[in-house]
Chains A and B, each alone.
Chain A
Amino acid sequence: MCGTCGCGSENNGPTILKPGEEKHQHSHDEHTHEHSHEGHHHHHDGHTHSYESDHKHKVLKIEQDILQNNQVLAARNRGYFEAKNIFALNMVSSPGSGKTSILERTLADLKDEISFYVIEGDQQTLNDANRINALDIPVIQINTGKGCHLESDMVYDAVKKLIIEENSILMIENVGNLVCPSMFDLGESKRVVIISTTEGEDKPIKYPDMFYTSDICIINKIDLLPYVNIDIQKIKNYALQVNPNLQFFEVSATTGEGMKAWYDWLKDQSKNLKAKA
């Protein structure tokens, strides 16, 4: 099993494709499997240790963070983004909350003002990347196979393939899952959690880790409020209980209601990039 990407076998590991590219099976052209075995090289390098003794138990103090590998690569991504003046957003939510719809509408409305790039994460299909590609926005699809979240090495490989220009905003749409992606830093500038009005007021405390690690919370599908028995203030109160620093946007990606505040925020981020350049 691949120790870095977590793929179970050659056939269900992550693939990273541009729309129109054929899906060759898990080619690993940039992502060779050497990394999971690199430690073994020490076996054969002729370097000897005096304390070696067979059939004797020896305790090794390690004290290593289990997610260290992901964190190191996330830090590398973050450094790259900062150096190239790229503002990266990690968009997370349950499946069906409207990540792709919010993204589509935002890109269509702002693409003349802001330079956007998109990384799409799904277990299977190029469908989301094709939706973004239809808007003439550069996009890469990561298919995680059996994987339930994106990890920083997948984003690292995707970013290399995407070739992002300076002073851009990179939208990373994570796999639809409100649990697993919370633990995996991708190197983003801000994490955006999306919840829709059909999901239940107490979702933030049912899945607290994602709300705890996010900076922005978009409440989507507000056009459905007349039809659902939900109090939007209660969603916010629960979310603030988990993370009092969350900043909210209430939107409908379908009707466009409330999108202006979100756009203004994005434009401010874009202006900040240009001011720094």
Chain B
Amino acid sequence: MHELSIAIGIVKIAEDETAKAKAKQVTKIELEIGVLSGVELESLNFVWKSAVKNTVLEFAKKEIDIIKGIGKCLDCNTEFDMKYVYDTCPKCKSNFKGILKGKELRVKAIEVI
């Protein structure tokens, strides 16, 4: 359940940024999570409540922007949609690819009061 560590990382960023802005509370947090990032959204949602308790995020609305995976074949340059990190190039079946999108794990913005 590394999602707890992820949630705690999010809390730390939110606490720091809220303090920097001299705000009191976060009303909304926007996250960007790629489908190849290794984070299970279900698990993250499961731990969220306990992770944000007694923090600036306790009453914040959470919005998650899920980023689709896109790979580029290193052998034939085809760009293709990826669901899993082991997806092969649909054109030439090569396993060698670069991941262009889908590894994101970012706090995009917070709305504070």
Q: What chain A residues lie within 8 Å of B17 (beta carbons)?
A: 39, 60, 62
Bound together, the chains give a CA A213 to CA B65 distance in angstroms of 24
Q: What chain A residues lie within 8 Å of B88 (beta carbons)?
A: 241
Asked if A205 and B19 make an inter-chain contact with CB atoms under 8 angstroms apart, the answer reads no
Task: Give chain A's interface secondary structure class.
Answer: mixed
Bound together, the chains give a CA A121 to CA B17 distance in angstroms of 32
Q: Please report which residues of chain A, range 1-57, place their CB below 8 angstroms from some CB of chain B when the two chains form the complex.
A: 1-4, 6, 36, 38-43, 49, 52, 54-57
| Contact-residue bracket for chain A | 35 or more
Asked if A43 and B5 make an inter-chain contact with CB atoms under 8 angstroms apart, the answer reads no
Q: What chain A residues lie within 8 Å of B18 (beta carbons)?
A: 39
Instruction: Give A214 Cβ to nearest chain B Cβ, in Å.
Output: 12
Asked if A40 and B19 make an inter-chain contact with CB atoms under 8 angstroms apart, the answer reads yes
- In the complex, which residue of chain B has the Cβ closest to the Cβ of A245? B96
- In the complex, which residue of chain A has the Cβ closest to the Cβ of B112? A58
Q: What chain A residues lie within 8 Å of B5 (beta carbons)?
A: 6, 147, 149, 151, 180, 184
Asked if A39 and B15 make an inter-chain contact with CB atoms under 8 angstroms apart, the answer reads yes
Bound together, the chains give a CA A61 to CA B6 distance in angstroms of 19
- Contact mask A43-84 → B, CB, 8 Å, 1/0? 100000100101111111111111111100000000000000
Asked if A54 and B4 make an inter-chain contact with CB atoms under 8 angstroms apart, the answer reads no
- In the complex, which residue of chain A has the Cβ closest to the Cβ of B4? A6
Residue A95 is within 8 A (CB to CB) of chain B in the complex = no
Instruction: Give A158 Cβ to nearest chain B Cβ, in Å.
Output: 18
Bound together, the chains give a CA A170 to CA B63 distance in angstroms of 42
- 8 Å CB contact of A64 from B6, B23, B106: B106
Known: A70-B9, A183-B39. 20 other contacts (CB 8 A): A2-B8, A42-B20, A52-B21, A57-B111, A58-B113, A60-B17, A60-B109, A62-B13, A66-B10, A148-B1, A148-B2, A149-B2, A182-B38, A184-B2, A204-B86, A205-B86, A209-B38, A212-B85, A241-B95, A242-B95
Subset of 27 A-B contacts with CB under 8 Å: A1-B8, A36-B15, A39-B16, A52-B22, A54-B113, A57-B111, A59-B110, A60-B110, A60-B112, A62-B17, A62-B108, A63-B109, A64-B107, A66-B31, A67-B6, A68-B13, A149-B5, A179-B2, A179-B38, A180-B1, A180-B5, A184-B2, A208-B84, A209-B38, A212-B86, A242-B85, A243-B95
